[in-house]
Amino acid sequence: MSDAIAAHAGSHGAHAAHHSDLQHHFDSLEQQHEAATLGMWLFLITEVLFFGGLFLAYTLYRIWYPVAWAEASRELDIVLGAFNTAVLIGSSLTMAFAVRAAQTGKQRATVVWILLTMALGLVFLIVKYFEYKEKFEHHHVPGPNFAFEGPQAGPAQIYFSLYFLMTGLHATHMIIGFVIMAVIAWMAHKKRFTPEWYTPVEISGLYWHFVDIVWIFLFPLLYLVDRAGHFA
Amino acid sequence: MAGHISPKSTYYAIFGALMVLTAVTVAVAFVNLGSFNFPVAIGIAVTKATLVILFFMHAKYSSTLTKMFVGTAFFFLFILLTLSLTDYLSRGFKTYEGGAGGAGYGVRSESSMQSRPATAGEGH
């Protein structure tokens, strides 16, 4: 095996001293990092379209049922929604600092920033849990027990279906992100990253920021439909 | 190989801008701008997303190829939304003389009209 590596290194001449994290099919760490970043963005393109279908459904039904959208949206707690928006933006800041710490070789700081990011993610999910709980108590969950006062009950159920689909898919991404962050924190704790190679921190950060962006759109679309009472 | 390392102050500035924009979008939601509330809210959200992508996600300092990928995501989203909406939004357009009905959902058959939701404030 070591002969094979030596022969490989020899065939490339300039790469006699391989970095331990450089895989043999890449010429350099820069190239490897570029490929990983590009791959992550490719995945995020599919994610944009994944959520995009729901955003399209949302837009169409909102155009068809503006009054139901206005009334149902007012049932959401704007304080909790705004609070969660601030929490997620805060978690993006700590994530950016985690990547920066990894870039500058500060392993301990990387761990701390990622743990902070996870804590903020957990706060978001806990708030979301209480919001969902309130929806169940008020019979705002679509299904046989759905109840909504007034003539807009039917389309309001569509609004709440989309509410649960969009926030549910987002929360699923948060939970997956939480698990990814736990792995990254463990790797950083094991001093796996160096300023030469910190790609997992960077591309996990891309995922985390993407989930933040989805919420940046969900917040005004779901919570702020008609707070001014235009359709009241 | 550490790519571009942004100063901490940049991240704090972006964080501050995102928080201010969040406060603005909440405040402006309580002002009745008629049909402009929606585009204003979306405009603020797009601005916030752009800040996150450029600075937190380092797109500003990425290679041209990566930037193209980022643009591709939103190009396809644009196609998904606008091409679908050109269909749905134009269904209410006026039909030619001899067509079924005037403004509104005139081109649809009777059965589909009944299953069609009654859009508020829109007669036909």
Q: What is the pLDDT of residues A103-130, one digit of tens each?
A: 999 999 999 999 999 999 999 999 999 9
Please give the interface size between A and B, counted as residue pairs whose CB atoms are below 8 Å apart. 151
Q: What rounded mean pLDDT belongs to chain B?
A: 83
The sign of the dihedral angle between the CA atoms of B26, B36, B38, A154 is: positive
Q: What does the alpha-carbon distance between residue B37 and residue B43 come to, in Å, rounded to a whole number?
A: 10
CATH topology for A29-223? Four Helix Bundle (Hemerythrin (Met), subunit A) (1.20.120)
> In a mutagenesis test of the A interface, which of B37, B40, B57, B80 is the best target, namely the one with the most A β-carbons within 10 Å?
B57
Nearest-CB residue to A52 (from B12, B19, B77): B77
Neighbours of B96 (CB within 10 A): 6
Q: What is the pLDDT of residues A23-71, one digit of tens each?
A: 888 888 888 999 999 999 999 999 999 999 999 999 999 999 999 999 9
In chain B, % of residues over pLDDT 70: 75
pTM of the model: 0.86
Q: What rounded mean pLDDT belongs to chain A?
A: 92
Residue of B nearest to A83 (CA): B22
Question: For position A202, what pLDDT does the model report?
Answer: 95
**Cα A128–A118–A39 angle (5° rounding)?**
100
Sequence ranges of the domains in chain A: 29-223
Distance from CA of A169 to the nearest CA of B (A): 18
Of A123, A121, A168, A173, the closest CA to residue A141 belongs to: A168
Tell me the chain B residues in contact with residue A59 when contact means C-beta distances shorter than 8 Å: 81, 85
